[in-house]
């Protein structure tokens, strides 16, 4: 430990951030990697999930305890802090409920936004969702019920009843990683299913898919529903981890950070999305620590971080354009049988 550097705290922070961004990366990978949809507004659904979690949690706690005051007021923040650790069952119940509600709502919003634009071409989807994300952020900056530019603070942690902060953060990091693992298993299941083959068909030749009688806009909208819902879950996890949300947390740079993770790891490969997320979030945490240790540095570590990420993407595109882990063949029963038979013949 050097200069008071907290290794355990760093690892907990990195693992939590990694799990959150890995969910975002896999959701984007479902869109661009498997279906060929360019989503430049991923941060919009990330922000919707975070605000939904913050609003539902704060309102529920205040309502249960009979406290009447604006969600963003100082009175609300103090009251939420006082009652956060009094009812563990309420904390956990709201956490699970927020994940379910957020998945449905953000998925529905993604479906409603994407379905009309998917009929006129993929380029319109990227522009539409990017514009939606910026309009939503500007709107939230002026929406007083959720605090405007200040946002919402004092969000009760689902594990606030655990007195030891280090233990609480460690358990929460484990929960985030479990959610990430479930997302990975779901993404892999979909990618290797008949619907996953249909997604790749849409990506590779949309016209041929239409000629085969498949409803391409409906397929894309279904994928967008799932991916938007997963992004909303990532927003929920972020809101509870930070304990506060504000509009300026959800700028377009977040979306392009997720794109960097997918490109670096490998499009069409969920393991690649995990590796890209792990490496780039590690760089992010290192730059954050350097920023704390050297606050008077001539060049901000944040700029250096973006330079490193840009250099990684440039090197990847030059030498491994398909990413660190290129797309692999779909795992079907027939392919598995052929592989086993080929292996048996070689052994013989």
Confidence of residue 276 (pLDDT cuts 50, 70, 90): very high
pLDDT of residue 81: 84
Instruction: Determine the 3-state secondary structure of 222 from DSSP.
Output: helix
Strands (E), 130-170: 152-153
CA distance 187 to 115: 21
Q: How large a percentage of the chain has pLDDT more than 70?
A: 90
CA distances from 224 to 25, 50, 207, 230 (A): 14, 18, 20, 10
CA distance 80 to 62: 7
Confidence of residue 332 (pLDDT cuts 50, 70, 90): low
CA distance 201 to 34: 9
Section 264-275 average pLDDT: 92
H and E: helices and strands count for the chain: 13, 2
Is the per-residue pLDDT at 346 higher than 60? no
Confidence of residue 305 (pLDDT cuts 50, 70, 90): confident
Out of 38-47, 210-219, 283-292, 316-325, pick the least confident: 283-292
Confidence of residue 304 (pLDDT cuts 50, 70, 90): confident
Q: Give the CA count within 13 Å in the CB-facing half-sphere of 298.
A: 0
Section 160-186 average pLDDT: 94
Contact partners, residue 298, CB within 8 Å, separation at least 6: none
Q: What angle do CA 44, 46, 52 make, to 5 degrees?
A: 100
Q: In this structure, are residues 321 and 263 in contact, taking their beta carbons and an 8 Å threshold?
A: no
Confidence of residue 255 (pLDDT cuts 50, 70, 90): very high
Strands (E), the chain: 152-153, 244-245
pLDDT digit string, tens, across residues 64-85: 888 888 888 888 888 888 888 8
How many CB atoms sit inside 10 A of residue 61's CB? 24
Is the per-residue pLDDT at 338 higher than 80? no
CA distance 154 to 145: 15
pLDDT of residue 215: 85
pLDDT of residue 2: 45
Token pair of 278, please?
A: 């792990």
Is the per-residue pLDDT at 327 higher than 90? no
What DSSP character marks residue 144?
Answer: G
pLDDT of residue 6: 79
Instruction: Determine the 3-state secondary structure of 244 from DSSP.
Output: strand
pLDDT digit string, tens, across residues 16-44: 999 999 999 999 999 999 998 888 989 99
pLDDT of residue 339: 64
Is the per-residue pLDDT at 1 higher than 50? no
CA distance 14 to 20: 10
Section 286-294 average pLDDT: 77
pLDDT of residue 348: 47
Global pTM exceeds 0.85: yes
Confidence of residue 139 (pLDDT cuts 50, 70, 90): very high
User: How much of the chain is in helix, strand and coil states, percent to nearest 5?
Assistant: 75, 0, 25
CA distances from 141 to 57, 72, 83, 248, 252 (A): 20, 13, 28, 8, 15
Pairing of strands 244-245, 152-153: antiparallel
Of 154-163, 179-188, 312-321, give the range with the top mean pLDDT: 179-188
Section 328-338 average pLDDT: 67
Confidence of residue 337 (pLDDT cuts 50, 70, 90): low
What DSSP character marks residue 145?
Answer: G
Token pair of 279, please?
A: 């490496």
Is the per-residue pLDDT at 309 higher than 90? no
How many CB atoms sit inside 10 A of residue 334's CB? 8
């Amino acid at each position: 430990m050097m200069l008071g550097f907290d290794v355990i705290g760093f690892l907990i922070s990195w693992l939590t951030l990694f799990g959150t961004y890995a969910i975002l990366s896999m959701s984007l990978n479902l869109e661009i990697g498997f279906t060929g949809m360019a989503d430049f507004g991923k941060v919009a659904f990330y922000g919707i999930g975070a605000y939904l979690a913050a609003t539902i949690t704060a309102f529920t706690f205040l309502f249960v305890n009979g406290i009447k005051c604006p969600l963003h007021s100082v009175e609300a923040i103090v009251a939420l802090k006082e009652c956060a650790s009094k009812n563990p069952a309420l904390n956990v119940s709201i956490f699970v409920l927020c994940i379910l509600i957020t998945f449905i709502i953000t998925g529905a919003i993604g479906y409603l936004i994407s379905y009309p634009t998917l009929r006129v071409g993929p380029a319109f989807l990227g522009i539409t969702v990017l514009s939606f994300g910026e309009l939503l952020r500007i709107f939230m900056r002026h929406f007083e019920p959720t605090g405007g530019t200040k946002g919402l603070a004092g969000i009760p942690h689902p594990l606030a009843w655990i007195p030891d902060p280090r233990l609480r953060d460690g358990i929460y990091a484990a929960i985030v990683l479990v959610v990430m693992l479930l997302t990975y298993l779901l993404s892999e299941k979909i990618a290797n299913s008949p619907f996953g083959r249909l997604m790749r068909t849409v990506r590779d030749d949309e016209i041929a898919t239409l000629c085969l009688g498949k409803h391409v806009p409906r397929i894309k909208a279904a994928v967008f529903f799932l991916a938007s819902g997963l992004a909303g879950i990532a927003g929920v996890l972020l809101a509870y981890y930070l304990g506060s949300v504000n509009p300026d947390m959800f700028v377009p740079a977040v979306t392009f950070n997720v794109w960097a993770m997918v490109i670096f790891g490998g499009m069409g490969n969920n393991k690649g999305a995990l590796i890209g997320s792990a490496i780039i979030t590690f760089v992010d945490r290192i730059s954050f620590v350097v920023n704390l240790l050297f606050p008077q540095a001539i060049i901000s570590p944040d700029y250096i971080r973006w330079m490193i990420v840009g250099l990684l993407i440039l090197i990847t595109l030059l030498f491994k354009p398909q990413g660190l882990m290129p797309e692999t063949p779909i795992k079907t029963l027939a392919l598995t049988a052929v592989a086993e038979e080929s292996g048996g013949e070689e052994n013989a």
